[in-house]
Structure formats: C-alpha cells, structure tokens
Amino acid sequence: MEKRYTPTHEWVELNQERSEGTVGITDFAQQEVTDVVFVELPKVGKSVPRGGEAAIIESVKAAFSIYAPMGGVIISVNQALDGNPGLLNQDPTGQGWIFRLKVTHPEEFSDLMDEKAYQSYLSEGGGQPAHG
C-alpha cells in the first residue's frame, strides 16, 4: 500500500478499505532522532485530531512528539517497541510502526505528501528537524 507523509516526518499507510491507518516515522526522522530509548505509546481507544500529539519518542538526544497524520481513534499500538525500541531505528517504515488508528476522514490522506513530494520536501530543506 502507498505511504503518505507529513511535514513533521510521520508516514501513514491505509488498509484496503481505507478505514484504518498505520503510522510511523520516516527513515529521515529516525536518523534525526537517533538512539531511541523508548516510546510513549498512546492508549488504545484514545481519539486524536489530525496533527494532534499521539506518541512521544524518547531518544538519547531528546524527546520528539509524534503527530497523527490523520484524525481518528487509536485501535492498536506496536507493543514490540516496548521491549525493543531500537526497532524504530532499524526498521522505521516496517516493523517499527508505532500505532494504528481508525480514521475519521479517509479523504485527509490525499492532503498528505506522496513519496515524490516528500523526497523533494526533504531536498528543499524540509529536512530541518521538525520534531521536538
């Protein structure tokens, strides 16, 4: 499935029905954050507005807020990050996903950057750390 990106370096991927989204951080963000020590995961059932703070990544360097790319209700969190926060550094766009949400407005997806737009955003200096 296609991933879409936020200016704050989160990615979201929708399921086939476009009802649920999986959220994580990009490889660029992972490099900026470095050395993740743990992740403050959201509570399942919590509702988050688009752009609202949904999780916190604590790295050796600093704390970084993770914002919901789309509004919705948290339906699951990646428990593997509890025992192995390094997954966020090793595989940020795969096994290092952070949470899943039931999206309220699937059409918000199209407001986000696609891969090409995100890459050009990075090359135009959007790469300045937006987190934290």
Partner 1 sequence: MTSPIVLPLHEIHQEMGGHLTDFHGFLLPLRFSTITAESRAVRTRAGLFDISHMGRLIIRGANSVEAVNGLITSNLGGVPSGKALYGILTNENGGAIDDIMAYWFSPERVDLVVNAGNRDQDRKWISDHLPPGVTIEDPSPSHVGFALQGPESGRILREVEPGAAALPRRGALLMGSSPGEILVSRTGYTGEDGWEFFGPSETVIRFYRKILAVGLPLGLVPCGLGARDLLRLEMGYPLYGQELTAETTPYDAGLGFAVSARKKDFIGRPGILDASGKPLHHEDHRLLVGFALTGRGIPRTGCDILSGFSGKGVGTVTSGGYSPEAGGGFGLAYVDRPFAQDFSTGTAAVVRIHQQDLPIVFRTRPFVPGGLR
The residues of the shown chain that bind partner 1, judged by CB under 8 A, are: 31, 34-35, 37-38, 40, 56, 58, 60-63
Q: Which is nearer to partner 1, 79 or 110 (CB)?
A: 79
| Gap between the Cα atoms of 91 and 97, Å rounded | 8
Q: Which is nearer to partner 1, 15 or 34 (CB)?
A: 34
Q: Which is nearer to partner 1, 106 or 129 (CB)?
A: 129
Q: Closest distance between partner 1 and the C-beta of residue 91, in Å? A: 16
Across the beta sheet with 53-59, the strand order is 36-40, 53-59, 63-67
Q: Residue 42: helix, strand or coil by DSSP?
A: coil
What's the CA dihedral at 47, 54, 18, 108 to 10 degrees? 90
| Gap between the Cα atoms of 33 and 30, Å rounded | 5
Q: Closest distance between partner 1 and the C-beta of residue 27, in Å? A: 14
47 near 70, Cβ under 8 Å?
A: no
Token pair for residue 70? 């789309």
Q: Which is nearer to partner 1, 88 or 113 (CB)?
A: 88
